[in-house]
């Protein structure tokens, strides 16, 4: 492509600054970062500064300038007490820096004091957690069958119980020739014509339990055999599904509201911007998450070190808010292959990716903007981000580890035992009181009869 214009654009014509020194401010949270700005070591520490340090050097070379760096501890936040900006923004506002060499989030209160130019690092901070087992969010004991299947199972138990009852009545009438009242069974192993007995037998069959009593006629035994066979297939399907469901991860936690309502514990990577955005959250869900899960009135808040938070994610039931590339770098190096599976992310910060910034109304604006765009077009920006930011690790061992069953997995069964024991105890006490009342009534009637 040939440029036939006689007069070049001003920003292009003036792009060569002839060795002029530009002042750049960069955020350093760890002093050791100064020793590893270009050697790609400790990539999880001050990653965004390391990426943009190299990009700033390339930008300065493109502009034919030199650069002097100053370092600050924060990106810069407005102090309502002093009415001043601190950190990197403070240096840009007070004309002690020309370039903000550490990109920062795009917020409405900063638009009036600095100039955002280009997005140089596609990095985001999110809650990262391992998907909890399905039993932590659902009752796995009702999931193997659809609602219609459960209705059919109940219908089979009831219908087979009624059919068996009718058959037993007919059996006893034909056997004894008594059309008024069926006699008692000849021995304890013969089933009585009672609906509660037939229901209990069929319910036991659904749980693969045998019966101490059996019908005598061929028709009644045929009904029993067919019912046992049908319920055996259902029980086999149910058991197989239960085993699979106990090993399955839950996909119910998809939003911040789901995360807030879950049983997971929470932690936040202890960085300057995390502390600022969590403590200043105003949106109801985010504020509730901070107040209920992060802030602790009677102890230290849940702002912890990176390695500690990543290790807690490994053990499960823990959500850790961290910069994605930083967190995944530690995860890739410390987790086993099967532990890298089932990782989920949920966005918390209501901000877009960080932007490169300069002074407001700076005369270098167009030149710097074009230089940043050129770095992106030529792939230099992509190269540095790809080398320093770690992507989400792939799952290559998802089916290689058996997850043991815990008490939470069988919690519904435990509740059934507890409620059943309580209900049985209640019935027992009621029966005792009822029969004690009957005895008193009988004694009173006997005494009256004796007196008379």
Q: pLDDT tens digit string along 68-85?
A: 999 999 998 888 888 899
CA distance 266 to 226: 53
Cα first-last separation, the chain: 129
Mean per-residue pLDDT for 304-324? 92
Level-2 CATH architecture, domain 129-137+250-347: 3-Layer(aba) Sandwich (3.40)
Tell me how far apart the 2 most distant CA atoms of the chain are, in Å: 136
Backbone angles phi, psi at 113, to 5 degrees: -115, -20
Those residues with Cβ within 8 angstroms of residue 118's Cβ, 6 or more apart along the chain or in another chain: 355, 356, 369, 372, 373, 376
Mean per-residue pLDDT for 25-46? 91
Mean per-residue pLDDT for 277-305? 86
Residue 178 pLDDT: 53
Residue 281 pLDDT: 87
Domains 10-123+353-388 and 129-137+250-347 agree in fold: yes
pLDDT at 302 over 80: yes
Q: For a pLDDT cut of 90, what percent of the chain falls above it?
A: 35
So where are the chain's domains? 10-123+353-388, 129-137+250-347, 147-246
Residue 6 pLDDT: 66
Q: For a pLDDT cut of 70, what percent of the chain falls above it?
A: 91
Those residues with Cβ within 8 angstroms of residue 377's Cβ, 6 or more apart along the chain or in another chain: none
**Residue 32: count of CB within 10 angstroms of its CB:** 11
Any bridge partners for residue 404, and if so which? none
Compute the mean pLDDT over every residue in the chain, rounded to the nearest whole number.
Answer: 85
Mean per-residue pLDDT for 171-197? 63
Residue 341 pLDDT: 85
Per-residue pLDDT of 323-353, as tens digits, reads 998 999 999 989 888 888 889 999 998 888 8
pLDDT at 242 over 90: no
Q: What kind of fold does domain 10-123+353-388 have according to CATH? A: D-Maltodextrin-Binding Protein; domain 2 (3.40.190)
Residue 89 pLDDT: 93
pLDDT at 398 over 60: no
Per-residue pLDDT of 81-134, as tens digits, reads 888 999 999 999 999 999 999 999 888 889 989 999 999 988 888 999 998 888
CA distance 76 to 91: 9
């Amino acid at each position: 492509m040939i440029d036939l214009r006689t007069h070049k654009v001003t920003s292009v014509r003036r792009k060569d600054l002839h060795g002029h020194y530009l002042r750049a401010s960069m955020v350093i949270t760890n002093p050791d970062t100064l020793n590893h700005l270009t050697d790609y070591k400790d990539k999880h520490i001050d990653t965004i500064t390391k990426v943009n340090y190299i990009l700033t050097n390339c930008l300065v070379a493109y502009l034919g300038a030199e650069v002097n760096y100053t370092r600050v501890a924060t990106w810069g936040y407005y102090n309502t007490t002093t009415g001043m900006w601190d950190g990197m923004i403070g240096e840009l506002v007070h004309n002690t820096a020309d370039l903000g060499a550490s990109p920062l989030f795009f917020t409405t209160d900063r638009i009036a004091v600095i100039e955002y130019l280009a997005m140089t690092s596609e990095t985001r901070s999110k809650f990262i957690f391992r998907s909890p087992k399905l039993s932590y969010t659902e009752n796995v004991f009702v999931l193997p069958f659809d609602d219609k299947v459960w209705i059919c199972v109940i219908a089979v138990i009831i219908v087979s119980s009624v059919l068996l009852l009718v058959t037993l009545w007919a059996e006893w009438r034909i056997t004894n020739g008594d059309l008024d009242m069926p006699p008692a069974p000849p021995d304890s192993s013969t089933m009585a014509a009672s609906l509660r007995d037939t229901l209990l037998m069929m319910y036991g069959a659904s749980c693969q339990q045998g019966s101490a009593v059996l019908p005598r006629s061929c028709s009644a035994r045929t009904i029993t055999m067919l019912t046992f066979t049908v319920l055996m297939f259902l029980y086999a399907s149910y058991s197989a599904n239960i085993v699979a469901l106990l090993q399955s991860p839950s996909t119910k936690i998809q939003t911040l509201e789901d995360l807030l309502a879950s049983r997971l514990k929470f932690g936040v990577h202890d960085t300057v911007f995390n502390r600022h955005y969590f403590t200043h959250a105003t949106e109801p869900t985010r504020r509730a998450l901070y107040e209920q899960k992060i802030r602790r009135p009677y102890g230290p808040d849940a702002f912890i070190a990176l390695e500690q938070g990543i290790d807690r994610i490994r053990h499960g039931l823990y959500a850790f808010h961290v910069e994605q590339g930083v967190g995944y770098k530690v995860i890739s190096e410390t987790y086993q292959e099967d532990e890298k599976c089932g990782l989920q992310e949920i966005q918390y910060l209501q901000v877009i990716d960080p932007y490169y910034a300069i002074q407001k109304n700076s005369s270098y604006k167009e030149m710097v903007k074009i230089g940043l765009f050129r770095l992106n077009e030529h792939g230099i920006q992509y190269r540095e981000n790809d080398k320093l930011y770690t992507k989400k690790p792939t799952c290559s061992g998802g089916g290689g580890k058996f997850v043991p069953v815990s008490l939470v997995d069988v919690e519904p069964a435990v509740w059934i035992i507890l409620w059943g024991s309580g209900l049985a105890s209640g019935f027992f006490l009621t029966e005792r009181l009822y029969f004690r009342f009957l005895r008193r009534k009988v004694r009173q009637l006997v005494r009256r009869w004796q007196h008379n």
